[in-house]
């Protein structure tokens, strides 16, 4: 019993990462690094785009610029084509109606944009346009 407990403790505390799904990764010609985990049983897509544009890149006279950019990403969108402009409330309602989420944040090194939506083609397309 002791050996079994020791083996279980070693297995669960081992520093090795175990991925149940294969993780594909490649670099696009423009230099963007892409990681993809495909799971056909989960009708959801998560997209995270990271830019080397964190607060350490803020000009001295504009401290807080990266944070302001991230904050403003959820305050509304301009109208484009037949789509009307959306203020913060309307944008929040649009995300809720789609069952999707969008987040932008900045840390010291990176400006992150994150989108989660269902894979249903019309919903995915609308969510991508909003993002």
- The residues spanned by each domain of the chain are 19-130
CA distance 100 to 45: 10
- For 19-130, CATH gives 3.30.830.10
pLDDT for the residue 21: 80
Strands 111-118 and 44-51: antiparallel
pLDDT for the residue 41: 86
Q: Six-digit token pair at 73? A: 């990403």
Taking only the tens place, the pLDDT of each residue in 66-122 is: 999 999 988 999 988 888 999 999 999 999 999 999 999 999 999 999 999 999 999
pLDDT for the residue 114: 95
Tell me which H or E stretch contains 10: helix 2-13
pLDDT for the residue 12: 55
Taking only the tens place, the pLDDT of each residue in 1-41 is: 555 555 555 555 555 555 578 899 999 999 999 999 888 88
What is the radius of gyration, based on Cα positions, of the chain?
20
Residue 125 has pLDDT above 70, yes or no: yes
pLDDT for the residue 86: 94
């Amino acid at each position: 019993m002791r050996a079994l407990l020791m083996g279980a403790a070693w297995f669960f505390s081992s520093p090795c990462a175990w991925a149940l799904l294969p993780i594909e990764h490649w670099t696009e010609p423009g230099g963007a690094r892409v990681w993809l985990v495909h799971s056909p049983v989960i009708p959801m897509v998560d997209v995270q785009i990271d830019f080397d544009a964190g607060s350490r890149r803020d000009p001295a006279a504009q401290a807080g610029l990266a944070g302001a950019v991230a904050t403003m990403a959820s305050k509304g969108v301009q109208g484009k084509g037949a789509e009307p402009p959306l203020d913060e409330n309307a944008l929040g309602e649009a995300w809720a109606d789609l069952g999707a989420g969008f987040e932008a944040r900045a840390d010291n090194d990176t400006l992150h944009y994150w989108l989660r939506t269902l894979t249903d083609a019309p919903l995915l397309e609308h969510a991508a346009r909003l993002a």
